[in-house]
Amino acid sequence: MTEYDYWKIFPRMPRKVTIGDITIRDGFQHEEKFVSTEAKKFYLEELIFAGCRYIEVTNLGSPYLMPQFRDAEELLTHLRSDRFKKKCERKGINYDDICLTCITIREKAVDRAIQLKEKGIGPDRVLMMVSTEEEHHFANSGTTLPDYWKECERSIKKCTDAGIKMCGTVSTIWGSPIGGATDMKDAVEFTKRWLEIGAHDIEHADHDGSASAPDVYRYFSMILDEIPNTDLHIAHFHETKRVASASILAALQAGITNFEATLGGLGDSRLISLMTVLLKEPVNIIILIPDM
């Protein structure tokens, strides 16, 4: 190693990363036409067969408000079926390595996830979300931050009892499309609070593309100084200003090892071009290769 070695300049930068696929949920969420259930099943199967082990399947919120997810139970039933498990076995895939996640913004959706778990088709992991900026949070959840934190505490307890992991999302880290500038220190405190109340891991999200590479590096450096366990942190960037690739590189340089992506950048959640590569290593881990 020389003084010019990349990993000497950025000693926290990983040599391997984990990619979670969110195509079926975030990628299809804003499609004007309903994506057929059979097409979703095909995508889900092929993603898993290609090597993905962390899959965001659907949203368990109201199908009236989000008709794209009216087939949530059918998708989960398919992925929990003996037929699909046998397919995995034939391809040498350990089914127990697969983690299925559902979005559950409100407690009612969490209750639905638990009911599905009791039926044998529920998710392994669910996700709730707080925004550090109050107006954005209210617009997204329909409730205030103090009330939502109480809801999260109740929901995490229910999930723990049901054997479901909770991912806590922190949004508006780098700014809010409604309230404007935000303080990254607030997001660090929100991250700590999620973990204190029992969240399994944290999704650090830039849902509207507000982030810049310098601020991404600064934020994730702050996070890993406070909470150095990289398994707890997931980066989630949306491509709206053609700068998400720079933000991803900055997150890598800061030491983040877990990222979320959609196939082909569907849903403006483009995360590098790694999802176009067949993932050949187990448990969704791939070696970082420079994009030629």
For 225-267, what is each residue's pLDDT tens digit? 999 999 999 999 988 888 888 999 999 999 999 999 888 777 7
Please report which residue ranges of 22-144 form alpha helices under DSSP H. Answer: 37-50, 72-79, 82-90, 107-118, 134-141
For domain 12-286, which CATH number applies: 1.20.1050.10, 3.20.20.70, 3.40.30.10, 1.10.3720.10? 3.20.20.70
Q: How far apart are CA 9 and CA 90, in angstroms?
A: 44
What H or E segment, with its residue span, contains residue 188? helix 184-196
User: What backbone phi and psi angles, to 5 degrees, belong to 108?
Assistant: -60, -40
Q: Are 145 and 187 in contact (CB under 8 A)?
A: no
Tens digit of each residue's pLDDT, the chain (292 residues) = 677 788 889 999 998 999 999 999 998 988 889 999 999 999 999 999 999 999 999 999 999 999 999 999 999 999 999 999 999 999 999 999 999 999 999 999 999 999 999 999 999 999 999 999 999 999 999 999 999 999 999 999 999 999 999 999 999 999 999 999 999 999 999 999 999 999 999 999 998 888 999 999 999 999 999 999 999 999 999 888 888 889 999 999 999 999 998 887 777 544 443 433 333 333 344 434 333 2
Which of these, 170, 157, 87, 162, lies nearest to 127 by C-alpha position? Answer: 170
Give burial (CB, 10 Å; 0-12/13-18/19+) of 196.
exposed
Residue 8: CB atoms within 10 Å: 10
The overall longest dimension of the chain from CA atoms, in Å, is 59
Query: According to the model, what pLDDT value does residue 278 have?
Result: 31
